[in-house]
Amino acid sequence: MEIAILGYGVVGSGAYEILNKSGYKVKKVLDIRPHDELGDALTANYDDILNDKDIKIVAEAIGGLEPAHTFVVKALKAGKHVVSSNKHLICEYYDELHDLACKNNVTLRFTSAVGGGIPWLYNLKRTLRGDEVSKIMGIMNGTTNFILDAMITDSRDFGDVLKEAQALGYAEANPSADIDGLDVARKTAISSSIAFDTTVKENDVDIFSLRNITKSDIDYISEKLGKTVRYMGFGVRNDDTISCFVEPVLLSLASLEANVNKNFNIISLFGNSVGRLSFFGQGAGKYPTGHALASDVIDIYNGARETYKLNKSVSVDNDKCERKYYLRANTLPSSDIIDSYECVGSSYYIITNKMKVSAMHSLAKSILESDPLAFFAGIEE
């Protein structure tokens, strides 16, 4: 049973080193750039992998939709097991790839697509064999956690810390996927799909951006409310639907999340039998994410073949979940949603009554039209 890796970037090269060092030889690596250290293992032609009958496991670490999607579909149709670290691909094509894996009697794994080096999806799946999960939640993006931690610890501005994160390589030149929540939304969608046995798309997830948070928000949340703030994704089981959303969230200082610093991640499940289980670690990086990709490969190499059922019976409905919200705006919203507020300088700092998630996200869109710097955060009880 031979192994191939598609893409020799950060994650692919990390997994390559870890697999080879651990005695799992990688036969072929697909990349269009030269890499002398790979010798004969390197190829720029995918057919060299697809037509090699001895290659039974393909680990995709290219990222993005194309050509990753085409390559993965071809591999599954050729009867090869597939492991992927590609959250965009899995979020977009989970149904299709899951069906193809079932039809071709092969295994599809993507632990490294969510939480980097944290074996989160793997343990979520393992827990579900003997339990039901009522909620998942997590700090799933290291860039935004690094920014918040630095703002809180060193009393710095958002833009200032973002520039440092970009210089350190934690944030992209275009940081929107991180700070506007798409990255977390995809990870929340994939996690919720597994947790609740359905298919959640990124468009199903309501998102508040982190972009508008200011030092004055941090100070108010800390000094007046005695809380701290993190950027998190949530998936919640309602009676017959689920709710999925990404929000900055106010947390007790004594919560685990409040003490997840720098670019670390933590992701939790709440099981009816097992109670709360939380998984903490590096959410990104060559060797952590490479280790998670390699671990899925080793599972399959050693005979793991579980393919998880996909009932697709549960729909996303953010009307069914309620919580209180913090908002900072330059005008007051309708008084019937306000629990309490304070006016400091030209800003209103407002705590709402319990509101439907969907209603608050709609309201936020309309407030942002006239007050584009307003900031919104959920409050985790």
Q: Which residues bind a second copy (CB under 8 A)?
A: 14, 18-19, 21-22, 117-119, 122-123, 126-127, 129-131, 254-256, 258-261, 264, 268, 271-282, 285, 287-288, 290-292, 294-295, 298-299, 302-306
**Helices 10-21 + 286-301 axis angle, to 10:** 50
The residue among 268, 267, 228, 245 whose CA lies nearest residue 323 is: 245
Is the CB of 268 or the CB of 358 nearer to a second copy? 268
Instruction: Name the amino acid, one letter, at 380.
Output: E
Annotate 292-315 with b (16+ C-beta within 10 A) or e (fewer): bbbbbbbbbbeeeeeeeebeeebe
CB 177 within 8 A of CB 202: no
In the complex with a second copy, the residue whose CB is nearer, 141 or 209, is 141
Shortest spacing between CB 139 and a second copy, in angstroms: 12
Nearer residue to a second copy within complex by CB, 117 or 333: 117
Helices (H), 266-376: 286-301, 357-370
* Shortest reach from residue 116's CB to a second copy, in Å: 9
Q: How far is the CB of 272 from a second copy (least distance, A)?
A: 8
Q: State in angstroms the smallest separation of the CB of 58 from a second copy.
A: 18
Token pair of 98 as six digits:
């899951």
Q: Give the nearest distance from C-beta 261 to a second copy in angstroms.
A: 7
Question: Which residues fall within 8 angstroms of residue 214, CB to CB, at 6 or more apart?
Answer: 157, 158, 328, 375
Query: Residues 226, 253: contact at Cβ < 8 Å?
Result: yes
Smallest Cα–Cα separation from 72: which of 49, 42, 54, 52? Answer: 49
Residue among 304, 356, 282 nearest 325 (CA): 356
Q: Widest CA span of the chain, in angstroms? A: 70
Question: Judged by CB, which is closer to a second copy: 256, or 337?
Answer: 256
Helix/strand/coil percent split, the chain, to 5: 40, 25, 35
Cβ within 8 Å of residue 379, ≥6 positions away: 227, 249, 250, 323, 324, 325, 326, 351
> Considering 187, 201, 215, 356, which one is annotated as catalytic?
187
Of 212 and 263, the one with the shorter C-beta distance to a second copy is 263
Nearest to residue 108, comparing CAs of 96, 117, 97?
A: 97
CB of 129 to a second copy, least distance (A): 5
Say which amino acid occupies 266: I
Closer CB to a second copy, 12 or 290, in the complex = 290
Judge whether 77 counts as a catalytic residue: no
Q: 308 vs 341, which CB is nearer to a second copy?
A: 308
User: Smallest distance, Å, CB 24 to a second copy?
Assistant: 8
Q: What is the DSSP string of 245-283?
A: EEEEEEEETTSTGGG--TTEEEEEEEETTTEEEEEEEES
Alpha carbons 294 and 15: distance in angstroms, whole number: 5
**Which amino acids are annotated catalytic?**
187
